[in-house]
Amino acid sequence: MVFSSLIFVFAFLPVVYIVNIILKNRVSNLFLLGCSLLFYAWGEPLYVFLMLFSGLVNYTLTLTMDAKQDRRKQFLILTVVFNLILLGVFKYADFIILSINSLTGSAIPYLHLPLPIGISFYTFQTMSYVIDVYYRETPVQKNFFSLLLYITFFPQLIAGPIVKYHDIAVEIDHRAVKLNGTVHGLRRFVFGLSKKVLLANTMAIVVDGLYKLPNNEISTSIAWVAAIAYLFQIYFDFSGYSDMAIGMGEMFGFHFLENFNYPYIASSLRDFWRRWHISLSSWFRLYVYIPLGGNRKGIPRALLNQVIIFFLTGLWHGASWTFVVWGLYHGLFLILEQTILNVGKWPRFLRHFYTLLVVLIGFVIFRSATFAQALVFLRSMFLFHPTTGIGARQLMVLLTPTTWFMFVVCIVASTPIAKFIRTYDQKRIGNSLSYGIAIVLWFACLFSLAATAYNPFIYFRF
């Protein structure tokens, strides 16, 4: 994995960038499409054909939908059902079979299909295009290869952000690669890589080391350290990938929307979801919540719609009831905020503390392999259990001075302090400070990749 990441950084990305500059837009689209397919085939040599098949079916059905004005709705339904079946078979088939077998006592054999990398992301992107064409938010794309580039573009193909077609429709055919954009994109890429390699990977060592302990060794201190470490791991892992994707997109003349906005400074769960995985939240709001009626049909219906959205949000993250419960847990607190809690009138500190605590507990459920493991960690967090034996030794091994320092860095990097520094740097120093920091971080990432085992991005499996 280290070798593959170094090939990407030192060979694939520079070569693709240089050749893309030389080529004109239409030819460069074909070139970028070929490189994106090669990039995906490097990790999924067979499932690249599944992605091509999905793109061809969606392209054909959407063209037909646009041509047959009197049957638009039927073709929309057909296209959406096709995408959901494709996602359901490869991601949820065994989960459904397991649930049926558990409830009925039957013995339906499992399919054991490997999960295609990024299938949730590119399926949602494709459906957003189809729905936008149906509602005439964007014109139908008659060039198959241009549509396929949108679906497969390698910077955000396997872990987002989820890009809506109408956000980059113009740039697919008309874009310019500028030196300023390249430099900004490289800086953004390095900062994202640093989040992943230096922060998320350090936290991952702590999380994995504590979550593999036997249940009887999970003390109060172990449970809290693991929970806080995972809070940072998942944020810097996912936001780091989003930063890398946005940076690479800018290098090639594409401008993707932001996917994170300092979610850990949120003052309510509603505020948190405006800041966390923004592309997924906005996707569900536009394509599910509003079509269900949103808040236009009264408060009870609006609350029900929110429950549906967060059930789907949890299910989107993985084929497990722990993810579903995590989604419903967030939905429950959103409903409580709107009906009982009245969070907006609380003192600022209390609002932040409440939000972080709810998010932290939710991520314990999200990270746990089973409900039993989640309950063990949650019980230990709130009912005192001393640290002894194997657990104490594991804490001593994992919590090195470097790890403690990284915890402090994670706290600082989770706040807008870095944003304020960049703004000051841009206005007073001409970006020299941020570029200097980026160079230092770049070499730190290279040393870290060479010295430690590489951890894949968490959201690759979604």
For 114-132, the pLDDT digits (tens) are 888 888 999 999 999 999 9
* In the predicted structure, residue 273 carries a pLDDT above the cut 50: yes
* In the predicted structure, residue 213 carries a pLDDT above the cut 50: yes
Q: Are 329 and 365 in contact (CB under 8 A)?
A: yes
Look at the chain and count its residues. Answer: 462
User: CA-CA distance, 211 to 374, in Å (whole number)?
Assistant: 10
pLDDT of residue 428: 63
174 is catalytic: no
The percentage of residues in the chain with a pLDDT greater than 90, rounded to a whole number, is 57
For the chain, the first-to-last Cα distance in angstroms comes to 19
Report the run of H or E that residue 60 belongs to, with start and end: helix 47-67
Confidence label for 106 from pLDDT (cuts 50, 70 and 90):
confident
pLDDT of residue 26: 74
For 312-336, the pLDDT digits (tens) are 999 999 888 999 999 999 999 999 9
For 419-462, the pLDDT digits (tens) are 777 676 666 665 677 788 889 998 888 888 777 665 666 665 55
pTM of the shown model? 0.91
Coil vs helix vs strand at 268: coil
User: CA-CA distance, 159 to 461, in Å (whole number)?
Assistant: 9
Q: Are 291 and 132 in contact (CB under 8 A)?
A: no
* In the predicted structure, residue 385 carries a pLDDT above the cut 50: yes
Confidence label for 302 from pLDDT (cuts 50, 70 and 90):
confident
pLDDT of residue 449: 77
Confidence label for 43 from pLDDT (cuts 50, 70 and 90):
confident
Nearest 5°: the CA angle 99, 101, 105 is 135
Least confident of 88-97, 260-269, 313-322, 446-455: 446-455
Helices (H), 399-455: 401-413, 417-424, 432-451
Confidence label for 103 from pLDDT (cuts 50, 70 and 90):
confident
User: CA-CA distance, 451 to 448, in Å (whole number)?
Assistant: 5
How many Cβ atoms sit within 10 Å of the Cβ of residue 146? 17
Of residues 179 and 56, more confidence is placed in: 56
Taking residues 232-241, what's their average pLDDT? 94
Taking residues 2-27, what's their average pLDDT? 75
Confidence label for 207 from pLDDT (cuts 50, 70 and 90):
very high
> What Å distances lie between residue 52 and 16, 28, 57, 123, CA to CA?
21, 19, 9, 12
Task: Select which of 317, 330, 352, 385 is catalytic.
Answer: 317
Q: Are 394 and 209 in contact (CB under 8 A)?
A: yes
The percentage of residues in the chain with a pLDDT greater than 70, rounded to a whole number, is 93
Q: Which residues contact 435 (CB under 8 A, 6 or more apart)?
A: 183, 187
pLDDT of residue 301: 87
Kindly report the average pLDDT of the chain as a whole number.
Answer: 89
Confidence label for 104 from pLDDT (cuts 50, 70 and 90):
confident
